[in-house]
Structure 1
Amino acid sequence: MKRTGFWWMLWCLLSGSFLCQAQQSTRLTQHWEYLRGDLGGIWEAVRPVAAGSPESVPLWQQVTLPHCFNATDAVSPEENYYEGPGWYRTLLDINNPYTNGRTLLHFEGAGQKTAVYVYTTKVTTHTGGYDEWTADITEAVRQFLQSPEAKRFKGKVPVSVRCDNTRDLEMIPSDMSDFNVYGGLYRYVNLVYAPALSFETFHLQAVTDAAGNKGTLNVSAAFRNPGNISRGTLELRLLDPQQKIVKEIRQDIDIKTGEQPLAVISLKKPIQWSPGQPSLYTVEARLTSTAGTAGWKDHTGFRHFEFIKQGPFLLNGKRLLLHGTHRHEDHAGVAAAMTEDMVRREMLLIKNMGANFIRLGHYQQSRIVLQLCDSLGILVWEEIPWCRGGLGGDTYKEQARRMLTNMISQHRNHPAVILWGLGNENDWPGDFPEFDKEKIRAFMSELNTMAHQQDSTRKTTIRRCDFCKDIVDVYSPSIWAGWYRGRYTEYKTESLKEIARVPHFFHAEWGADSHQGRFAEEPEQFIKQVATGKGADERSGDFALTGGNARASKDGDWSESYAVNLVDWHLKEQETMPQLTGTAYWVFKDFSTPLRPENPVPYVNQKGIVARDLTPKEIYYVFQSYWTEAPMAHIYGHGWPIRWGREGETKEIRVYSNCTEAELFVNGKSAGVRKRNSQDFPAAGLRWQAPLQTGDNRIKVVARKGKHTITDEVTWQYQTATWSAPVKLILEEDKTFTGDQLRKVRVKAVDEKGVLCLDAANEITFSLAGDGRLIVDQGTASGSRKVQLANGQACIFLRTANGSGTAAVAATAKGMTSGITTITY
């Protein structure tokens, strides 16, 4: 029986909203306490202790969720990051409005092994740091509230959670992975009230042909039904992207165990989802039974995609060159514990860069990320954390199977997802005495079959495991031209070779490390040392800074200048390969890793397009100039305050822009107009040779695209004084910086004559005596107690104490006179 729009709206008004009335969910962000380390047992989390009693140790600290064990220690230059147990506890007001309803704790992700307690009762455990899961605490809460102990807690319910990221060879991901395996409640935890019969899973399969003439939406669900209720009335409503009702269904259903089909809805000419027009349909459901009413609401989209054999990628019947990057769940000062606002800022930066694709490496990520990909129009490769190390035993494999099942079940409704990743670099041994390629192949085949059985509409993929490349639908080999092997000018040749080797190719991971703020007038002086014609794959040990073949990653200067050249070349070449499906630059944001303690920012993989705090590097604007439509123009070198050379020497000045033409002005004088041509490397022809004068130089560009005019300006100092070896550090407060309770301190390396050494890259260490504290362990060039100089300089921030105070900031470096400055406030 069809319900009319009027009656549906009246019913919704009378019944209340879906989420508020049919199911209640509250984020539990406040009133948590945290203890790093273990307890002797759960009793220590809940026992009565008098204030100030010696029994009150260990001491708990107040925290808000999300929270990560490793918020700062993952990038501390002086310690291994913590891997072990940690406890959280809180008191909850439980007030379930449903008769015989269920009280649930929904975890959006917790690392890595988790146990949940109500008072002293262990309710459930979960292994796996990245998939969602639910603890049904209904019975434990009921028993506690009926116990004598309830009076002591004045009606509140004590909940304790033990998280543990202790190293474990029989758990994925491997600790050999090039990222930290974090611990803690680093994603949101929700308190959910649901009626006795409610939706446990709800799946949408939206299918359309390439032309979009017909769409089919298959709806299925599984139910949480501890009371074994046998029947209910289901009401479904489908709304188009303009929130117009497209279809309404009302029907009685039998409640079965497991997942069951609910409806098949056909549409003529559905509005298709695409990166340029991410049109989302809304599906709302209500299930009424003797238990009350359960509700559910989500979005889906209709799109058709295809990987042509040894050819391009098609979306809705048209070629789409996938412009992609990668994302780790990692951020300065919080590690994995990113808030929704932080995630949104990051995803908007990715979209505004012009990306239409992202690989979520190397694990299932937050539901917030997937929702933003849907609404922003970013296609997704998401994968399970079977990453490096080889293949473990039954426990290891069962976790991989479970996480694949959960990832597909929890994220299959998202139209943005097109690829399920089964593994990453599974050709990298080390965790086990045995490394058996045939056993790895057999397990990869098993996962591939599972993925297709659970979702027949997506493709499977892996990156860098050549002996498994024939198993999955889409394969990504290792091509690191110009960084780990070869020169970046070999990129196209190597790509064409790899495209010919597999039916469906995608290039995930390419790029270069760059130390933010480090630039070079001649960044490729080392390049003649690098052999050509030897391939461009990353091999064992290539990431290290010593040994092996000559390569940019070891012998280059890690400047933003070299990274700009490499990215510029890759992007121009990608436009010339009609058979290319697409690529994804590794990685969007700098992230922490235990494998790189010697990097310019210790323990940070610095290949990011932006820094770990989301500050864009210069390559961000190179990507924009190739990938975006909205007019933009950026003078290369905003982060390069001092250039150097001889007085009056002609210097190259570049502008990265998507505009048709641009005119450059140097100190108020026009240097001429240039036309943009993407194949005119570098900067697509928008480059000028112009002399600079000692001291300040004002650079301005006026770029035009149709009726639009875009300008950009920068002021460079130009240093003509030459320097010798650095011998002394000078510290001074940067008076131009203003911030709430923050002071900026800059260190400079000078030679014996006091001349700034613009090529100095020494490692320096900051320290503080007195009031306030230094902002350190952020994993950024300006937020690390140990850091390499960038063009002879570095900076650190001092957070002042409340009121007045005095602080002495010092900087030291091996073989140089230390610097110190005193700040009084």
Structure 2
Amino acid sequence: MRQIININKDWAFSKLDGNNQVKQINVPHTWNAIDGTDGGNDYWRGQSSYRKLLDVPALDENEELYLEVNGANSTSKVVLNGKELAEHKGGYSTYRVNLTEELKNGNSLEILVDNTPNNEVYPQQADFTFYGGLYRNVNLIKVNKAHFALNYYGGTGIALTPVVLEDGKGELQVAAYTQNAQNGDTVTVCVKDAKGNTVACQTGTIQNNQVSFNIPMENIYLWDGVEDPYLYTADATLSRGEDKLDELTIRVGFRTFEIDPEKGFILNGHPYQLIGTARHQDWENLGNALEDQHHETDMAILKEMGANTIRGAHYQHDQKWYDLADENGLIMWAEIPYISSHMANEAANENTKEQMRELVIQNYNHPSIFVWGLSNEITIAGESEDLLKNHQELNDLVHELDPTRKTVMAHVSMLRTDSPLVALPDATSYNHYFGWYTGKIEDNDAWFDDFHAKYPNIPIGISEFGADANPKYHSEKPGRGDYTEDYQAIYHEHMLKMVTERPWIWAMHVWNGFDFAADARNEGGIPGRNQKGLVSFDRKTKKDSFYIYKAYLSKEPFVYLTKKRYIDREQPVTEVKVYTNEPEVTLYVDGKDMGTQKAVDHICRWNVEISGEHEIKAVGSNEYIADTMKIRKVEEKNPDYIVVGGSVHNWFNDGVEKEGYLSIMDSFGEIFSVPEAAALLKPVLEGMGSLLGERPEGEEATDMMEMMMGFPVETALRMSKALSKEQIIDLNNKLNQIKKA
């Protein structure tokens, strides 16, 4: 019978960089856990060797031994006793290699792993670190020569399709694939309920190493998302007469769903708007080399938040993560790392298809997965016939591999809405950062309303949105680009209200659940970090924005005082703000009752006079539903609250903006609409280079041009470093004298 032997321990690791220094390590392991997270975009990318003497279990003549590699980023080769047995191109999926024929007395195993840039294996361009390493579990699998297929794209060898019929009935469709089985061997699948009771069994006879049959079921219990993620267990047995040759245990869930352009996401016949986050798999100081407990911690945090969906960005995640989603009822968007830049060559196109086959086949049985993502922001470098053709082929491939689920794409914000890519998948989503990189938060409302009115038959979602925040930065007047925890919270307050008022938005996925490494970044006071997470990179700090989602989504009664870390406050009157899922909250300052406020959009607010140190307490429907914090009045702004090397917003004592007048916080389009202001900005543009390009007179603006015209001047100045601090202040002062159009 099948035996799985973990071989994570005792590997000899060396970078093949000329030094070849050998270290003894255990896997999971990455060589970029530190240099891939510290900024500079200079983390080491190359080939490394993982070697060990293989302790091989005894095999009889009817047994085989496979190596199972669950994640090696990004290209890897398996060498046994000096002979190369396999090469795998893709850093996020499982692959297996039959070692049997090359085994001898005393076996040396080497896995060569390479994350060197190339033009074939995705991803090659993206806003996250491409950690190199043997970063997931490595196993040996001992099996009978006749077994459920181990060499078919890393899958289980059996596809189980739960089908919901009428009147509480259902059927489990079984398609099993074997290796070295004989015609006449049988596959039996028995289904057990959550209590372990067998509720149905069926047997099929193998012909040409495969068999298909259906198992009728009565009184099926539905997998109903976070409310009731009910799982059945299917035990599959491959037999020859009375002899059992191989066994598998797979969990399944029965559910129906639709993605309707008017009604949004529908689960088991009822509306079920998807609100959750995207998730990268790395942790501070660990990179992507995670143990099970790290996945469990991430899931527990998202469950506390009340999320009902996860987008697995931007690649296939560990099987442990999909298992946790199954168990906890979170609906998964699973995708391949086809991202940012299309590599127009045959090998790269085939790599997208190969990675998609692995994604779908390896994860077919997970009830938590509902949509397969074709690509992310793939048109950043523009559209082309080859790009479109490859997406059409990918879309067809997914429907061939899995007719039961939907395809989806995440489009870059400036992609024209009449692009054929928008209508290509079954559902579509856009990555929009209005209110952060460009424009105002309110621009999200107008964009989605316009899209829905113009394309009423296309299901639309928002696949990325967010604002970077370092929880140490604060302001009485937070604004876009200041990296304060306070602005990020305001941003997400608006986005939640906007989406929940529009049930036809089928899904919203916050970018991101957790801060993550992007070694090319240097902003917000921490190099090498994307800080749009609702939770910090080390998972120790839940930012204020986390709790507005909890207020909307969680059923556990709570109140949360925001701005706890904003202790030193320079204004004599300060806002005290509470997030809650309680109907009303009472505020006490130094024990004095400051009144009870009804929650509006899950928020209560008070303006409180402060003069010294104060203890603030917010209380919900009883004394146990409460939160406290301390604040104090100071004469000058605490400099620790101001971002270092980031936004210019906090350079101004009284704020950048002057009501009714222009400022650097306005967009290029707003400033260009006033000739006097445009004259001020023209020489600045020359210092930035050709940022916006030129539009011939009379020619309509492209979507890209319109997007760039909505880009804030402040953000462009910060990114380009075209002006000094003093010059930016001077420019803003001059703009403050010019009335808006």
TM-score, normalised to structure 1, is: 0.74
Q: Which moved more, 1:90-99 or 1:403-412?
A: 90-99
> What is the deviation of 1:255?
4.3
Q: Residue 33 of structure 2 corresponds to which residue in structure 1?
A: 71
Q: Residue 691 of structure 1 corresponds to which residue in structure 2?
A: 609
Q: Is the 8 A contact 2:176 2:212 kept in 1?
A: yes
> What is the SS of the residue equivalent to 1:351?
helix
> What is the SS of the residue equivalent to 2:139?
strand
1:759-774 maps to which residues of 2 (within 5 A)? 759-762=641-644
Would you say 1:669 and 2:624 are equivalent positions?
Answer: no
How far does the alpha carbon of each residue in 1:762-819 deviate from its partner, in whole angstroms, 9 at most, with x for none?
A: 359xxxxxxxxxxxxxxxxxxxxxxx99x9xxxxxxxxxxxxxxxxxxxxxx99xxxx
C-alpha separation in 2, matches of 1:173 and 1:757: 40
Q: Is the 8 A contact 1:631 1:708 kept in 2?
A: no
> What is the deviation of 1:268?
2.7
C-alpha separation in 1, matches of 2:603 and 2:467: 23
Q: Residue 453 of structure 1 corresponds to which residue in structure 2?
A: 400
Q: Residue 307 of structure 2 corresponds to which residue in structure 1?
A: 355
Q: Residue 108 of structure 2 corresponds to which residue in structure 1?
A: 158
Change (3 A) 1:254 1:709: same
Q: Residue 513 of structure 1 corresponds to which residue in structure 2?
A: 468
Change (3 A) 1:160 1:424: same
C-alpha separation in 1, matches of 2:450 and 2:7: 52
Give the letter for the 2:585 counterpart.
A
Q: Residue 280 of structure 1 corresponds to which residue in structure 2?
A: 231
Change (3 A) 1:212 1:619: farther
C-alpha separation in 2, matches of 1:563 and 1:215: 46
Q: Is the 8 A contact 2:78 2:86 kept in 1?
A: yes
> What is the SS of the residue equivalent to 1:515?
coil
Would you say 1:188 and 2:137 are equivalent positions?
Answer: yes
Change (3 A) 1:223 1:614: same
How far does the alpha carbon of each residue in 1:346-388 deviate from its partner, in whole angstroms, 9 at most, with x for none?
A: 0111111111011111111111111010001100111111111
How far does the alpha carbon of each residue in 1:111-156 deviate from its partner, in whole angstroms, 9 at most, with x for none?
A: 1111111221212111100111101111111xx32xxxx4xxxxxx
C-alpha separation in 2, matches of 1:292 and 1:38: 49
C-alpha separation in 2, matches of 1:166 and 1:624: 41
Match of residue 437, structure 1, among 375, 379, 384: 384
Q: Residue 10 of structure 2 corresponds to which residue in structure 1?
A: 31
> What is the deviation of 1:604?
1.0
Change (3 A) 1:308 1:292: closer
C-alpha separation in 2, matches of 1:140 and 1:392: 38
Q: Residue 129 of structure 1 corresponds to which residue in structure 2?
A: 91
> What is the deviation of 1:24?
0.9
> What is the deviation of 1:477?
2.3
> What is the SS of the residue equivalent to 1:413?
coil
Q: Is the 8 A contact 2:191 2:234 kept in 1?
A: yes
1:101-120 maps to which residues of 2 (within 5 A)? 101-120=63-82
Q: Is the 8 A contact 2:33 2:288 kept in 1?
A: yes
Match of residue 631, structure 1, among 557, 578, 595: 557
C-alpha separation in 2, matches of 1:101 and 1:188: 23
Change (3 A) 1:140 1:641: farther
Change (3 A) 1:472 1:114: same
C-alpha separation in 1, matches of 2:353 and 2:321: 23
**Structure 2: runs of 5+ lacking an equivalent:** 150-156, 654-723, 726-741
> What is the SS of the residue equivalent to 1:493?
helix
Q: Residue 221 of structure 2 corresponds to which residue in structure 1?
A: 271
Q: Residue 720 of structure 1 corresponds to which residue in structure 2?
A: 634
Would you say 1:640 and 2:640 are equivalent positions?
Answer: no
Q: Is the 8 A contact 1:311 1:504 kept in 2?
A: no
C-alpha separation in 1, matches of 2:63 and 2:611: 76
Would you say 1:614 and 2:529 are equivalent positions?
Answer: no
Match of residue 312, structure 1, among 259, 264, 267: 264
1:202-217 maps to which residues of 2 (within 5 A)? 202-209=158-165, 213-217=168-172
1:157-556 maps to which residues of 2 (within 5 A)? 157-174=107-124, 176-200=125-149, 201-209=157-165, 213-225=168-180, 229-251=182-204, 253-257=205-209, 260-275=210-225, 276-289=227-240, 293-429=245-381, 437-464=384-411, 466=416, 467=419, 468-500=421-453, 501=455, 503-524=458-479, 552=480, 556=481
Q: Is the 8 A contact 1:618 1:639 kept in 2?
A: no
C-alpha separation in 2, matches of 1:261 and 1:659: 55
The Cα RMSD (Å) is 2.3
C-alpha separation in 2, matches of 1:262 and 1:62: 47
> What is the SS of the residue equivalent to 1:73?
coil
Q: Is the 8 A contact 1:38 1:87 kept in 2?
A: no
Give the letter for the 2:194 counterpart.
P
Q: Is the 8 A contact 1:635 1:656 kept in 2?
A: yes
Q: Is the 8 A contact 2:41 2:521 kept in 1?
A: no
Change (3 A) 1:98 1:519: farther
Identity %: 27
Change (3 A) 1:409 1:589: same
Match of residue 511, structure 2, among 574, 582, 586: 586
> What is the SS of the residue equivalent to 1:350?
helix
Q: Is the 8 A contact 2:331 2:368 kept in 1?
A: yes
How far does the alpha carbon of each residue in 1:185-227 deviate from its partner, in whole angstroms, 9 at most, with x for none?
A: 1111111111111112111111215x773322111121132xx
Give the letter for the 1:240 counterpart.
D
Change (3 A) 1:503 1:183: same
> What is the SS of the residue equivalent to 2:560?
strand
Q: Is the 8 A contact 2:182 2:208 kept in 1?
A: no
C-alpha separation in 1, matches of 2:402 and 2:54: 38
Q: Is the 8 A contact 1:186 1:337 kept in 2?
A: yes
Give the letter for the 1:428 counterpart.
I
C-alpha separation in 1, matches of 2:213 and 2:348: 37
Match of residue 82, structure 1, among 44, 49, 52: 44
> What is the deviation of 1:38?
5.1
> What is the deviation of 1:594?
3.5
C-alpha separation in 2, matches of 1:472 and 1:625: 33
TM-score, normalised to structure 2, is: 0.82
Q: Residue 617 of structure 2 corresponds to which residue in structure 1?
A: 700
**Structure 1: runs of 5+ lacking an equivalent:** 1-21, 40-56, 151-156, 430-434, 525-551, 679-683, 724-755, 765-787, 792-813, 816-825
C-alpha separation in 2, matches of 1:471 and 1:722: 55
Change (3 A) 1:609 1:677: same
C-alpha separation in 1, matches of 2:182 and 2:53: 32
How far does the alpha carbon of each residue in 1:736-785 deviate from its partner, in whole angstroms, 9 at most, with x for none?
A: xxxxxxxxxxxxxxxxxxxx535543359xxxxxxxxxxxxxxxxxxxxx
Q: Residue 566 of structure 1 corresponds to which residue in structure 2?
A: 491
> What is the deviation of 1:179?
1.2
Count of aligned pairs between the two proteins:
633
> What is the SS of the residue equivalent to 1:450?
helix
1:51-70 maps to which residues of 2 (within 5 A)? 58-70=20-32
C-alpha separation in 2, matches of 1:204 and 1:391: 35
Change (3 A) 1:296 1:640: same
Q: Is the 8 A contact 2:40 2:519 kept in 1?
A: no
Q: Residue 100 of structure 1 corresponds to which residue in structure 2?
A: 62
C-alpha separation in 2, matches of 1:448 and 1:651: 53
> What is the deviation of 1:254?
2.7
Change (3 A) 1:599 1:687: closer
Change (3 A) 1:561 1:109: same
> What is the deviation of 1:36?
1.7
Q: Is the 8 A contact 1:197 1:289 kept in 2?
A: no
